[in-house]
Amino acid sequence: LGLTCLSGFFQTKNKNYRSSKSHEELLIPPTPCHAKTNVMFLKTHKTASSTVLNIMFRFAERYNLTVALPADQLFHLGYPRTFVARFVEGFETTGQNYNIMCNHLRFNPLEVKRVMAANTFYFSILRNPIPLLESSYIYYKNNVPAFRSSKNVNEFLASPTKYYHPADYRENIYARNIMWFDFGYNNNAEDDTKYTQAILEEIEQNFHLILIADYFDESMILLKHALCWDLDDVIYFKLNSRSPDTVQTLSPESEEQIKAWCSLDWKLYLHFNQSFWRRIEETIGLELLEKEVDHLRTRQKELMETCLSEQEAVRKDHIRNRALLPFQSGAANILGYNIKQDLDNRTLRTCQKMVMPELQYTSYLYSVQHPHKKRKEVGLPLLWTSRQE
């Protein structure tokens, strides 16, 4: 009985000691962690995922890692078809020999696991479906029949079934529950509680972490901790954003309609928004999170002052170097950057990589990893043709 009491005393004391963060505890060195280098990022649409892809590509280059890149002239891994391993360049000859996977694909866990190592870290990112649908509408206006035949986003949302036909689901996937589709599920499925709960649990099993684009800086800090990366590994310049004058204002009725029309995405977002903040409280804490976000923004500002002529993104017609022009789509004006002219070669290279659009960076990495293959054609001038250049 005495031993039991003593044991309880020490456990209680240890618990209090942990929670009080005493001076002695601060002297205990943290458990060392090793940076995870086998990482799969499910790149969802219109969720700041192009910025994350740039982070992943730069990390891969920094540590000389191999990236599972799309085969031949494609820039996505078979999307919107469900992913299969042969969509990866070289898979059929090299097999499971990739560290990073991050180009667009429609998730298929069994096939992805054929490409990636057993200890791969899986993560993705979600965005509030309300601004997401407005963004999709502008970006895919000319490609999606449901969007093309309506005058504006509010007209579409006033009566979505008038414009959206499930039979054309492949052309219309961006118009309804696009995140649900990207995760590999039926975006026209009936919103049944039992079904949605089962899918949410399945996603939790398949992914170690789900980030939230609406809290992007907080997401980068959480990702840094989860992967044991350095701050500079998650520093970014916002990519593939559009000019504010192309944003359409949603009516209050439209916002409510999105919650109903994209109810699967809405439930997905609500569920993982909760788990996101719970994860932060359990692993970092809000106080440390705030400090690290401040460090991230300070470092980002330093790099902007070092790299950029205008200290901010500029409209497409103001981008001086056409090799750094982002892909333009629909009614959106996709912003880009101008790099300062008087930088030393090493700094210039770092800055160029931070602002390099997705298609150009994919084409460049492809030429490095597969030098004997025909380079992917972007339709723009090449910034570099080789690793040495």
* DSSP letters for 275-293: HHHHHHHHHT-HHHHHHHH
Q: What is the average per-residue pLDDT within 285-299?
A: 97
Mean pLDDT is lowest, of 162-166, 200-204, 288-292, for 162-166
pLDDT one-digit tens code per residue, 330-350:
677 889 999 999 999 999 999
Q: What is the average per-residue pLDDT within 145-159?
A: 94
Q: What is the average per-residue pLDDT within 126-135?
A: 97
Query: What's the whole-number average pLDDT of the chain?
Result: 90
State residue 246's pLDDT score: 85
Residue 357 has pLDDT above 90, yes or no: yes
Give dist(CA 173, CA 187) in Å, integer.
7
State residue 20's pLDDT score: 37
Beta strands in the chain (DSSP E): 39-42, 100-101, 121-126, 209-212
Q: What is the average per-residue pLDDT within 49-78?
A: 96
Which of 23-32, 44-53, 242-251 is predicted most confidently?
Answer: 44-53
Residue 12 has pLDDT above 60, yes or no: no
Owner of token pair 């192309």: 246
Mean pLDDT is lowest, of 20-34, 35-49, 76-90, for 20-34
Three-class SS of residue 124? strand
Owner of token pair 């950029």: 308
**Higher pLDDT pick, 225 / 165:** 225
State residue 385's pLDDT score: 66
Give dist(CA 319, CA 254) in Å, integer.
34
State residue 379's pLDDT score: 86
State residue 108's pLDDT score: 98
Mean pLDDT is lowest, of 6-10, 117-121, 127-131, 236-240, for 6-10
State residue 386's pLDDT score: 62
201's CB contacts (< 8 A; 6+ apart) are: none
Give dist(CA 143, CA 174) in Å, integer.
9
State residue 10's pLDDT score: 38
Give dist(CA 227, CA 335) in Å, integer.
30
Residue 240 has pLDDT above 50, yes or no: yes
State residue 387's pLDDT score: 61
The DSSP secondary-structure symbol of 24 reads H
With beta carbons less than 8 A apart as the criterion, state whether 308 and 338 touch.
yes
Q: What is the average per-residue pLDDT within 293-320?
A: 94
Residue 221 has pLDDT above 50, yes or no: yes
Give dist(CA 139, CA 127) in Å, integer.
16
Q: What is the average per-residue pLDDT within 284-298?
A: 97
State residue 388's pLDDT score: 57
Residue 248 has pLDDT above 70, yes or no: yes
Q: What is the average per-residue pLDDT within 143-172?
A: 92
- Which structural domains are found in the chain, ordered by start? 39-369 (3.40.50)
Could you tell me the pLDDT band of residue 26, with boundaries at 50, 70 and 90? very low
Residue 207 has pLDDT above 90, yes or no: yes
Q: What is the average per-residue pLDDT within 3-18?
A: 39
State residue 234's pLDDT score: 97
Residue 29 has pLDDT above 90, yes or no: no
